[in-house]
């Protein structure tokens, strides 16, 4: 395989990753890191560096469309980004000191848990009660468009969501995934925000989180422009396509895609790490 063929294959894989990332709020990095390491044999730290760049591209491509269409909750995103940015710097520093096998196993375990939790969330019941004081103080309640018109929702447990987001930021820097999976779970399960709002707000947030982590990798020389460039272009286009599909997509299908994709990749990452392939 020559360099042009490799670049074309990386671009195609990145296109798919960006499409799925935009639909599920994963940010593409959760698919790209296993793709680059398992399929193309790229060192996991360089793969994480390229994935972080792609996460920034995903956020830029999808977030603008989601904000314009009224899905993303900007107030929630700006508040929770404080926690994820701090965690991202901590996680990136940890990643440069841990062995690659440990990083791969942590990656797989986190994704398996994310897949499990996403299938256990039940939104058939509406959450009742008054919003907490932080919700009222920051005016976080909002609405999002549906075929039947705007649907209002109430935000709960802001403190708990903030704490989970801190951990999500650490995982972003450590694994180069933008922490989209954990962000969706934090907003979807802990704060009880509708799933489409969770995924779109996650896409709005992941760019800033990834930028904080990418700075650490850039200083250490783990961002290769020759790898990051096709990855970024593929993910950007894929995320824009995903943003167009999301409004018409069904939440139940999104959950199945979310769980199946990351569970399969997680299992493969753990198996290869145990075999000493990293």
pLDDT in tens, 128-147: 556 678 888 888 898 888 88
What is residue 232's predicted lDDT score, i.e. its pLDDT? 87
> pLDDT tens-digit profile of 47-71?
888 888 877 776 766 677 778 888 8
Per-range mean pLDDT, top range of 24-28, 165-169, 204-208: 165-169
The overall longest dimension of the chain from CA atoms, in Å, is 61
Instruction: Kindly state the tokens that stand for 195.
Output: 């799933």
Helix count and strand count (H, E) for the chain: 11, 2
Distance, CA of 41 to CA of 46 (rounded, Å): 11
Distance, CA of 189 to CA of 53 (rounded, Å): 28
What is residue 162's predicted lDDT score, i.e. its pLDDT? 92
How far apart, in Å, are the Cα atoms of 33 and each of 45, 77, 158, 202, 259? 9, 25, 30, 19, 17
Q: Which regions of 41-184 does DSSP assign to beta strands (E)?
A: 142-146, 149-153
Task: Decide if pLDDT at 122 tops 60.
Answer: no
Evaluate whether 259 touches 91 at the Cβ level (below 8 Å): no
Q: How confident is the model at residue 230 (pLDDT cuts 50, 70, 90)?
A: very high
Instruction: Kindly state the tokens that stand for 204.
Output: 């709005």
Evaluate whether 149 touches 221 at the Cβ level (below 8 Å): no
Report the sign of the C-alpha dihedral through residues 182, 183, 188, 194, in that order.
Answer: negative
Sorted by where each begins, the domain ranges of the chain are 13-274
SS3 content of the chain, % helix, strand, coil (to 5): 75, 5, 20
Pairing type for strands 142-146 and 149-153 reads: antiparallel
> pLDDT tens-digit profile of 68-117?
888 889 899 899 989 988 998 898 888 888 888 888 888 788 778 767 76
Mean pLDDT of the chain: 80
% of the chain at pLDDT higher than 70? 83
Evaluate whether 269 touches 102 at the Cβ level (below 8 Å): no
Q: How confident is the model at residue 119 (pLDDT cuts 50, 70, 90)?
A: low
Element (DSSP H or E) covering residue 35: none
Residue 61 exposure: Cα atoms within 13 Å on the Cβ side: 28
Distance, CA of 110 to CA of 183 (rounded, Å): 12
Taking Cα atoms as reference points, which of 10, 24, 59 lies closest to residue 187? 24
Task: Decide if pLDDT at 168 tops 80.
Answer: yes
Per-range mean pLDDT, top range of 126-130, 138-142, 178-182, 209-213: 138-142
Distance, CA of 180 to CA of 23 (rounded, Å): 11
Taking Cα atoms as reference points, which of 206, 169, 187 lies closest to residue 51? 206
Q: How confident is the model at residue 148 (pLDDT cuts 50, 70, 90)?
A: confident
Q: How confident is the model at residue 126 (pLDDT cuts 50, 70, 90)?
A: very low
Distance, CA of 162 to CA of 155 (rounded, Å): 12
Q: Is the overall model pTM greater than 0.85, yes or no? A: no
């Amino acid at each position: 395989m020559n360099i042009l063929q490799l670049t074309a294959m990386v671009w195609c894989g990145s296109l798919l990753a960006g499409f799925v990332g935009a639909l599920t709020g994963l940010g593409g990095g959760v698919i790209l890191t296993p793709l680059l390491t398992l399929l193309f044999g790229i060192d996991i730290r360089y793969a994480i560096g390229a994935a972080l760049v792609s996460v920034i591209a995903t956020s830029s491509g999808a977030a603008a469309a989601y904000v314009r269409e009224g899905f993303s909750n900007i107030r929630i995103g700006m508040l929770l980004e404080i926690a994820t940015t701090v965690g991202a710097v901590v996680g990136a520093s940890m990643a440069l000191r841990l062995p690659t096998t440990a990083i791969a196993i942590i990656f797989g375990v986190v994704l398996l848990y994310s897949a499990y939790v996403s299938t256990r969330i039940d939104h058939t019941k509406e959450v009742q009660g008054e919003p907490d004081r932080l919700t009222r103080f920051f005016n976080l309640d909002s609405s999002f468009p549906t075929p039947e018109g705007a649907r209002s929702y109430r935000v709960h447990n802001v403190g708990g969501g903030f704490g989970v987001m801190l951990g999500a930021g650490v995982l972003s820097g450590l694994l180069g995934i933008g922490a989209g999976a954990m962000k969706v779970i934090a907003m979807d399960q802990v704060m009880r925000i509708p799933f489409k709002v969770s995924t779109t707000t996650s896409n709005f947030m992941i760019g800033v989180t990834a930028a904080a982590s990418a700075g650490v990798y850039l200083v250490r020389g783990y961002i290769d422009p020759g790898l990051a460039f096709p990855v970024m272009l593929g993910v950007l286009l894929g995320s824009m396509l995903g943003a167009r599909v999301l409004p018409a997509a069904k939440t139940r299908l999104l959950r199945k895609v979310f769980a199946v994709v990351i569970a399969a990749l997680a299992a493969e990452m753990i198996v290869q790490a145990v075999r000493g392939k990293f």
